[in-house]
A and B are shown apart, each in its own frame.
Chain A
Amino acid sequence: MPQSRFLIEAFDREQWCPVLQATLPVNDSEALRAILDGSVDDDPELEWIYHPDDEQIAAIAAKFNVSFDAAQLDSKDLDIRLFRWRPIDSMPYLAHTGYELPLLLDGRKKLARMGNVYPPMTFEGENRFDYWVAEGALHREEVIEAFDAPVQTSRGEIYLGARTVFYTPKGEEWRIPASKLIWDAAGKAGGWNEYFERLEGMLFGYEDWQNDWWIKEGVAGGGFGGRSFCCAVTAAGLKWIESSGFRALPPIDRPALTIMMYDRETEAQLYAAMLGDPDNAAVVRFNMFGDNFGKFWNLPHGSPWDLPATRIPEFNGLLRGSVAVVAKRDDAVENVPVKAEAPARSA
């Protein structure tokens, strides 16, 4: 069984960010489960966030041989959390999420956009942000958008609208109307894409090389505002794709083309299964807006989907970007996607 990684973290409720973290290499998840005790009964994969008490923390540190001494911190209001390693923790730079407040105060973050549906008319930690607004260190702007009709969730919660609170360091207020403009423009331009994503990243205060990495990752994962799919092709089909400059899927001589949802986490098994058919020479990945895919099938259910041969031209007309060859029968993978899934960058 592969090793799992967990993080144990001390979250400072005054600074409103994590202030200490340690990685737990967990070979035996049952040992962790035993320490966490009854609270894990409904979480077979240990995917929740846990709040271990002092005794549990000591047991975890001893069992997994990690140093995690929150007592050394000069923090008065700590929340200790344990959770599974997330894709965001594998990024080559600090994603602002969870660190918005100190980064804003440090001037490294230029804009934070905190959104929630209401009630409640507040997001978690809002009082800590507003403390610095009152101190004159941050600018704040709130946007309330009431729903036409209240929305009731499957759990019975009722929401009346969406609420967005913007924060900027003083002197960076221009970023708020600029952010609104970008979202407005995306709506008029057919939807969100990598250009708007870059602009938003710049407004948040990410550096150019960080935006470059983020966008490359995002495009490989389906494109911003898009979904990623894959299908197997024959040797002749692969040649046809090459002749199109990797811009279209080939005609087929059978009734339908089987299309799968692309999943970074399970791609190896997916490719192996698709190349199991000796007629298949390669697997290709391509992106499409969910709205457009919905013209053919009801997303997100139903993978795999059968695309009738007669509809391939229409399908091609709705592709975004390039068709990428991600696996070949000779096992030479031309485009190895990064394993970490692109998380929501926000904030």
Chain B
Amino acid sequence: MPQPRFVLSAFDREQWCPVLQAMLPVSDPRALRAILGATADDDPELEQNYLLDDEQLAAMTAKFNVTFDTAQLDCKDLAFFLFQLRPVDQTPYLVHGGYELPLLLDGRKKLARMSNEYPPTTFMGEDRFDHWVAQGMLHREVVDEPYDPPYRTSWGETYLGHRTVYYTPKGEEWRVPAMKLIWHAAGKSGGWNEYFERLEGMLFGYEDRQNDWWIKEGITGGGFGGMSFCCAVTAAGLAWIESAGFRALPPIDRPALTIMSYNRETEADLFTTMLGDSASAAVVRFNAAGREVMDLWDLRHGGPYQLKAEQIAEFNSLLRGSVVIVAKRDDTVENVSVKSEVSAQSA
């Protein structure tokens, strides 16, 4: 099992973004846990985001022998965090999430959409954004959508509504109504998809090559608003898929087809298991809209799901995009998927 990788991060509360980060080479998480102390007792995999005091920070840099010299920074209000390397950290460009404010001020980000349920009627760091609104650098627009009735969570919190705060550099105000239009159109078009995702990315200010990468990744991961599944097929089934131009799953001569949720992280094990049956010639991956598949299965338990032979035709009509061969019995993997999982691009 691969070792988790951890990141030390200095967050500037005035600029409202990380200003220094270092990777911790952690071969023994127990050493890290010892420094974190009791705060990590309820987190066996150390998956939470930890706020560090100066003493913990010094202990970590000493223990793992990393340079993390915050004294060189001209920052007055720093906070130090430790967290596991996230998929978003492996994106081949700077995802705006967490860097919205400086990117807006720099004109590299064209629109930020910050949203939260309330109370509280503010998002973290809002005062720092609003400082620049008052300075005349940014445009701001708030959308308040009260819940009727208020929503009470299972852990006893009550939310009265949802609020969205949009920020743009001056001159880019048109992006706010354009964003609202896109979301409205998606609702009328059967749901979110890669076209709306691209438009949203363009409105945020991502470059074309960044949107291209993001959408390719997203489609591999199930498509936007979709889910990714896989199943094993026989040699005859594989030939049938090819004849259908990779647009449908083949009929079967047994009662049901076993379908698994596709998981990038565990795909190698999954494929090996699926090809364990000598009748299986290949594993194919395909996407479908989650809300449509929900009529067939309870998706909460993660699979495997049994698709009756007589349901395959109907299921085919729900597919999005192509059926992709991801593994073959001769161990030739035609489409090696990228290991990093797609995370939320926003903001």
Q: What is A's interface to B at a CB cutoff of 8 Å? A: 173-178, 181-182, 184-185, 188-189, 193-196, 198-199, 202-203, 208, 211-212, 242-248, 251, 312-319, 322
Q: Which residues of B contact A203 (CB under 8 A)?
A: 181
A/B interface sample: 10 pairs, CB < 8 A: A181-B203, A185-B199, A188-B198, A244-B244, A247-B244, A247-B316, A247-B317, A313-B244, A314-B245, A322-B317
Instruction: Choose from B196, B203, B245, B322 the contact partner of A313 (Cβ within 8 Å).
Output: B245
Q: State whether A174 and B177 are in contact (beta carbons under 8 Å apart), knowing that A247-B244, A319-B247 are contacts in the complex.
A: yes
Say yes or no for B189: interface residue by CB 8 A criterion: yes
Please tell me if the beta carbons of B244 and A248 are within 8 angstroms of each other in the complex. yes
Given the known A-B contacts A174-B174, A245-B313, are A185 and B202 also in contact in the complex, defined by CB atoms under 8 Å? yes
Chain B contact surface mostly = helix
Residues of chain B lying within 8 A (CB to CB) of residue A317: 245-247, 322
Q: How far is the CA of A196 from the CA of B198 in the complex (A)?
A: 11
Q: Is B312 an interface residue (CB 8 A)?
A: yes
* Residue contact A313 to B317, C-beta cutoff 8 Å: no
For the complex of A and B, 8 pairs with smallest distance between CB atoms: A316-B245, A245-B316, A174-B174, A317-B245, A245-B317, A248-B244, A244-B248, A178-B178
The answer, yes or no, to whether B212 is at the interface (CB within 8 Å) is: yes
CB-CB < 8 A to A173: which residues of B?
174
Q: Nearest chain-A residue to B247 (Cβ)? A: A247
B316 contact set on A, CB distance < 8 A: 243-247
Known: A178-B174, A182-B199, A313-B245. A245 touches B185 (CB 8 A): no
Instruction: Check if B198 sits within 8 Å of A189, measured CB to CB.
Output: yes
Q: Which residues of A contact B194 (CB under 8 A)?
A: 189
Q: Which of B189-225 contact A (CB under 8 A)?
A: 189, 193-196, 198-199, 202-203, 208, 211-212
Chain B residues closer than 8 Å to A174, beta-carbon distance: 173-178
CA–CA, A198 and B183, complex, Å: 12
Q: Are A195 and B174 in contact (CB under 8 A)?
A: no
CB <8 Å contact, B319 and A211: no
Give the distance to chain B from A197, nearest Cβ to Cβ, in Å: 10
How many of chain B's residues have a CB under 8 angstroms from any CB in A?
40
**B242 on the A face (CB < 8 A):** yes
Given contacts A184-B202, A198-B189, A247-B248, 15 further A-B contacts (CB under 8 A): A175-B177, A176-B174, A177-B175, A185-B195, A195-B189, A195-B195, A198-B185, A199-B181, A202-B181, A208-B188, A243-B251, A245-B313, A247-B316, A315-B245, A319-B247
Whether the Cβ atoms of B208 and A188 lie closer than 8 Å is: yes
CA of A316 to CA of B322, assembled, Å: 11
Residues of chain B with a CB closer than 8 A to A251's CB: 243
> Which of chain B's residues has its CB closest to A203's CB?
B181
Most central of B181, B188, B245 by chain A CB within 10 Å = B245
Q: Mark B residues whose CB is within 8 Å of A.
A: 173-178, 181-182, 184-185, 188-189, 193-196, 198-199, 202-203, 208, 211-212, 242-248, 251, 312-319, 322
Are A188 and B212 CB-contacts (below 8 A) given A181-B203, A195-B196, A243-B312?
Answer: yes
Does the CB pair B188–A212 fall under 8 Å? yes
Q: How far is the CB of A323 from chain B (nearest CB, A)?
A: 10
B245 touches A243 (CB 8 A): no
- Whole-angstrom CA separation of A243 from B245 in the bound complex: 14
| Chain A residue with Cβ nearest B194 | A189
> Which A residues are CB-close (under 8 A) to B322?
317
Whole-angstrom distance between the alpha carbons of A262 and B248 in the complex?
24
Q: How far is the CA of A222 from the CA of B123 in the complex (A)?
A: 47
Q: What residues of chain A lie closer than 8 Å to B173, measured between beta carbons?
A: 174
Whether A318 contacts B189 by the Cβ 8 Å rule is no
A173 and B172 CA atoms in complex are apart in Å by 12
Contact of B198 with A245 in the complex, beta carbons under 8 Å? no
Contacts A189-B194, A208-B188, A242-B313 given; does A178 touch B181 at CB 8 Å: yes
Are A199 and B182 also in contact (CB < 8 A) when A189-B198, A317-B246 are?
Answer: yes
**Taking the nearest CB of chain B, how far is it from the CB of A296, in angstroms?**
13
A246 / chain B contacts, CB cutoff of 8 Å = 316-317
List A contacts of B178 (CB < 8 A).
Answer: 174, 177-178, 181
* Most chain B CB inside 10 Å of its own CB: which residue of A189, A196, A245, A318: A245
| A195-B193 contact in complex given A244-B247, A313-B242, A318-B245, C-beta closer than 8 Å | yes
| Chain B residues with CB under 8 A of A211 | 188
Residues of B within 8 Å of A181, CB to CB, are 178, 199, 202-203
What CA separation (Å) do A159 and B253 show in the bound complex? 63
Which residues of chain B are near A245, meaning CB under 8 Å?
248, 312-319
Q: In whole Å, how far is B233's beta carbon from the nearest beta carbon of chain A?
A: 14
Nearest-Cβ distance from residue A35 to partner chain B, whole angstroms: 47
CB distance from A206 to the nearest CB of B (A): 11
- Inter-chain CA distance A174–B181, complex, in Å, is 11
Q: Which of B173, B185, B318 has the most chain A CB atoms closer than 10 A to its own CB? A: B185
Establish whether residues A247 and B181, one from each chain, have CB atoms under 8 Å apart when the complex forms. no
Residue from A184, A195, A212, A248 within 8 A of B248 (CB atoms): A248
CB neighbours (8 Å) of B189 from chain A are 194-195, 198
Which A-chain residue is minimally distant from B176 (CB atoms)?
Answer: A174
- Determine the chain A residues whose CB is within 8 A of the CB of B248 once the complex forms: 243-245, 247-248
Nearest chain B CB to A241 CB, angstrom units: 9
Question: Are A185 and B198 within 8 A (Cβ)?
Answer: yes
Report the nearest A residue to B193, measured CB to CB.
Answer: A195
In the complex, chain B residues whose CB is within 8 Å of the CB of A312: 243, 245
Q: Tell me which residues across on chain B come within 8 A of A316, comparing CB atoms.
A: 243-247
Q: B270 → chain A, closest Cβ, in Å?
A: 24
Q: How far is the CA of A330 from the CA of B162 in the complex (A)?
A: 56
Cα-based distance from A177 to B171 in the complex (angstroms):
11
Q: Name the distance in Å between B290's Cβ and chain A's nearest Cβ.
A: 17
- Complex interface: chain A residues within 8 A of B195 (CB): 185, 189, 193, 195-196
Residue in chain A with minimal CB distance to B322: A317
Cβ–Cβ < 8 Å partners of A244 in chain B: 244, 247-248, 313, 316
Q: In the bound complex, how far is the Cα of B185 from the Cα of A182, in angstroms? A: 12
